[in-house]
Structure 1
Amino acid sequence: MSTSIKATESSERISSLDFLRGIAILGILFINIENFAYPDPWSPWKFGFEGTIDYSTRFWVYFLSQGKFYTMFALLFGVGFYIFLERLEKKQLGLKAMDIYARRLLWLFIIGVIHSYFIWTGDVLYHYAICGFLLFPFRSFKTKSLLFVIAFLSLLQLAKSYDQTMKRKGWQDNYTKAINLPEDQRSNDDIKNINFWKNQTKKKDPDTSKVEANKSTYLIGLKETYKNSSAHKGLVYYQGLLFPSLIAMILGIIFYRSGIFQNYQVWKYYWLISLVILGVGLIINYLRYYHWTYEYFEPVTNIWKGWLFTFPKELLGVGFILIFNGLFQKFLRSSKITLISKVGRTALTNYILQNTLLGLIFYGYGLSLFNQFSRFELLGLVVIIWIIQLTLSWLWLRKFQQGPLEWLWRKLTYSSFKHMN
């Protein structure tokens, strides 16, 4: 007796998850575009600041989007992981289900590495693949046990934040001690401590210099990428993101088990819970990114403030998931805005397409517009790329059931399992 294994039919898809993936894909562009556009995208004062409006633009972009859509992706990846294994289990495949799941993650890892080396070093797919392998044992955990795992991982993050804050506090104490000494009694170490802390707390003048586009040719770009990428060095995941990623993914499992993606009303106080999480997330993110944008020259040396700033993007990302999920199910399911869901259905293709377009716009082998736009002007490019992705996704799904890279990923995953006894 043979068992036929095939990919999930479109009729089996959970529509709210496609919508949320679409939101995440479109939203992450706000931050990813800066990685292509500027030599130092994370700086609150370097590059892209040509006027006051650019500082305001950076604040609002980081306040509402930095890390939040990554958190949404990670949470939805956890949901997808659980659904995938759940459906394989229903087919009663036994150990073959593990083979299929492992192959799915292996090909995701390979796609991510290819993307990292040939398109953009900031790829997150191979990091997700590693997290997917780590997630496997948690599938059989009870929800209460998963909450304990989240609590443990959160404590590790708080401990890391504590260490970083105390390190900065040590720098400040060394400065205070040295600056209070008479100048003729200061050692070389004292002078270094004074200069170091002054540099840390100095407000910088905006850097508006123009920089020559990197990756002047595609071949040179490949050489640069090889130097900056890390998979061939054995660094196959982002260390600083591992625990936050796992927290979000495990939370996705818990949310899916609760049933809110099929019917948000299974939570008695869904809107109250969602609004509280969103509200608290907005407040903490406002404080965090106001400090990062306008008070970056005042290092955080207070333990409580350091802890407050530990999970801002994760908290608001969860708030976005809950609010958008509820709004979609209550108001948007039958509206034209579900065009966003088509972007979500082709999330893998759109993620890589998005970065391919950015490379062609900013790198030297394309239009060579590297560091030519202010931060406010980048918003116009974001809208243009959105329109391109929405249009292409709509046109593609009129003729095909899934995106081209989704088709390839599934083809590679299932190719050895078509006919099994």
Structure 2
Amino acid sequence: MAQKAVDAGQGALQLQLRRMAWLMLFGLLHGYLLWYGDILFTYALAGLLLCWLWRLPAALLFVLGALLVAVPSAMLVLAVPAGQTPTIAAEMLPFWAPSAEDIERELTAYRGDWGQQMPLRFELMSLSLLAFPLQTFWRVGGLMLIGMGLYKIGLLTGAVSPAVCRRLLLVGLLAGVPLVLLGVLRNYQQGWDVHYLAFFGREYNYWGSIAIALAYVAAVVRVCQVGYLPRVRQALAAVGRLALTNYLMQTVICTTLFYGHGLGWFGQLERMPLLLLVVVIWAFQIVFSLLWLRRFAYGPVEWLWRALTYWRFRF
């Protein structure tokens, strides 16, 4: 988007700033009014802080990205000799092992109407915003920079050689999968104790998941290069073109099903029915995305975001 703006003689940075500012508003409305687990605000704020780095060469983007991702790990390492481990673990404990009173409070809130949900949703959304400078920015921002670098070397556009994809896939699986599995084993051996999990226990997955993600990307790119699974690729591409619409739609669907202003299923379904519900919602969104794109070039929320960014409201 930035390169297209430059090619058209427009200000790429100003365009990105407007785009991220509107996304921040979407995220705040989503988080405070519907679901506290919003990620849009985090993406938008990280994007505002980092979009001006898009011209840097890929190698430098990779280095800066890795350094940002490493900051939370460095904070944990420094917290141990500083004697902060009991304090941090105590702060995590209510979320890791909530008391009966906390569980009842959450059940009562989300089985109630929209107004009854609001205090708890406001509290949890505000906590997630406070976590931005301490943890979420570093990982999200670092991965954004790495993503910029991957785009510049041609991985995300499929312009790299098959050998690059194979190497990434191999390294990602050989490094990422064993590291994540080792983390599960070590946390199991520690009895999932929050004092271990809050520190070294989560580092295995923190780093291993990035390697696995790179392997996933390489696998998808290779499938696209070879031309395998054309119908599957068409379906997933349609969902991707409506990514923001589908993200918000999932919130609307699930809050209607689970919260008290809808069917009130909150805390009532076991894992298997929940898993089946996930598949049903995915199937619905795939069909919806395919049908929508037969008539329109953009998803409804994507169109609104684009119109606000360019300040052109044309159907």
Where on the TM-score scale, by shorter chain, does this alignment land: which range? 0.7 to 0.9
Q: Is the 8 A contact 1:168 1:299 kept in 2?
A: no
Aligned counterparts of 1:167 and 1:332: Cα–Cα separation in 2: 53
Aligned to 1:396: 292
The equivalent residue for 2:192 is 296
Shift of 1:138: 1.5
Q: Residue 16 of structure 2 contacts residue 48 of structure 2 at CA under 8 Å; is this kept in 1?
A: no
* Amino acid paired to 2:284: I
Q: Does 1:90 align with 2:4?
A: no
Q: Which has the larger radius of gyration?
A: 1
Structure 1 CA distance for aligned equivalents of residues 139 and 121 of structure 2: 26
Q: Give the number of the structure with larger relative contact order, counting CA–CA contacts within 8 Å between residues 6 or more apart.
A: 1
Matched, 1:125 2:40: yes
TM-score normalised according to structure 2 size: 0.82
Change (3 A) 1:264 1:158: same
Match 1:353 to one of 249, 266, 269: 249
Deviation sequence 1:194-242 (CA, Å, 0-9, x none): xx99xx9xxx9xx9xx9545331122223432333329x9849463111
SS in 1 for 2:306: helix
Query: What amino acid maps onto 2:8 in structure 1?
Result: K
Contact 1:281/1:312 (8 A) holds in 2: yes
CA deviation vs aligned residue, 1:291-335 (integer Å, no higher than 9, x gap):
44673038539x987754542322222222222222233243633
- What aligned pairs does 1:18-37 form with structure 2 within 5 A after superposition? none
Q: Secondary structure in 2 aligned to 1:366? A: coil
How many angstroms apart in 1 are the aligned matches of 2:123 and 2:158?
A: 47
**Where does 1:361-380 land on structure 2 (aligned, <5 Å)?**
361-380=257-276
String of CA shifts for 1:48-71, please: whole Å, max 9, x gaps: xxxxxxxxxxxxxxxxxxxxxxxx
Instruction: Map 1:187-198 to 2 at 5 A.
Output: none
Partner of 2:222: 326
Contact persistence 1:112–1:126 (CA under 8 A): yes
5 Å-filtered alignment, 1:17-416, equals 84-93=1-10, 96-164=11-79, 212-215=107-110, 216-230=112-126, 235=130, 237=132, 239-266=134-161, 268-292=163-187, 295-297=191-193, 299-300=195-196, 308-332=204-228, 334-415=230-311
How many Å separate the matches in 2 of 1:306 and 1:100?
37
Q: Distance in 2 between matches of 1:130 and 1:169?
A: 28
CA contact under 8 A between 2:236 and 2:286: conserved in structure 1?
A: yes
Tell me how far apart the structure 2 counterparts of residues 163 and 374 of structure 1 sit (CA, whole Å).
Answer: 40
Q: Residues 125 and 386 of structure 1: is their aligned pair in 2 closer, same or farther, counting only changes over 3 Å? A: same
Q: Can you give the 5+ residue segments of structure 1 that lack an aligned partner in the other structure?
A: 1-83, 172-195
Q: Residues 122 and 162 from structure 1, CA distance in 2 versus in 1: closer, same or farther, beyond 3 angstroms?
A: same
In structure 2, what is the Cα distance between the partners aligned to 1:88 and 1:374?
Answer: 49
Q: Displacement of 1:85 after TM fit?
A: 0.5
Change (3 A) 1:106 1:154: closer
Identity of aligned residues (%): 25
Relative distance call for 1:289 and 1:234 in structure 2 (3 A) is closer
DSSP 3-state at the match of 1:400:
coil
The one-letter code sitting in structure 2 at the alignment partner of 1:263 is G
Q: Which deviations, in whole Å up to 9, do the C-alpha atoms of 1:247-269 show, x marking residues without a partner? A: 11111111111112333543634
Distance 1:378 1:162 in 2: 37
| Counterpart Cα distance in 2 of 1:234 and 1:168 | 26
Determine the C-alpha separation between the residues in 1 that align with 2:180 and 2:188: 12
1: CA distance, partners of 2:266 / 2:201: 36
What letter is aligned with 1:321? V
Shift of 1:142: 2.1
| 1:353-379 deviation per Cα after TM superposition (whole angstroms, max 9, x unaligned) | 011111111111111111112223321
- What secondary structure does 1:268 align onto? helix
Q: What is the aligned length? A: 300
State the distance in 1 between where 2:194 and 2:307 align: 52
Work out the CA distance in 2 between the residues paired with 1:394 and 1:124. Answer: 25
2: CA distance, partners of 1:381 / 1:126: 27
> What CA distance in whole angstroms lies between the structure 1 residues aligned with 2:200 and 2:188?
20
Please give the alpha-carbon distance, in whole angstroms, between the structure 1 residues aligned to 2:15 and 2:32: 26
* Distance change (3 Å), C-alpha of 1:286 and 1:236: closer
Cα RMSD for the two superposed structures: 3.4
* Cα separation, 1, equivalents of 2:185 and 2:159: 33
Displacement after TM superposition at 1:91 (Å): 0.6
Counterpart code for 2:118: L
Question: For residues 184 and 208 of structure 2, what CA distance do their matches in structure 1 show?
Answer: 9
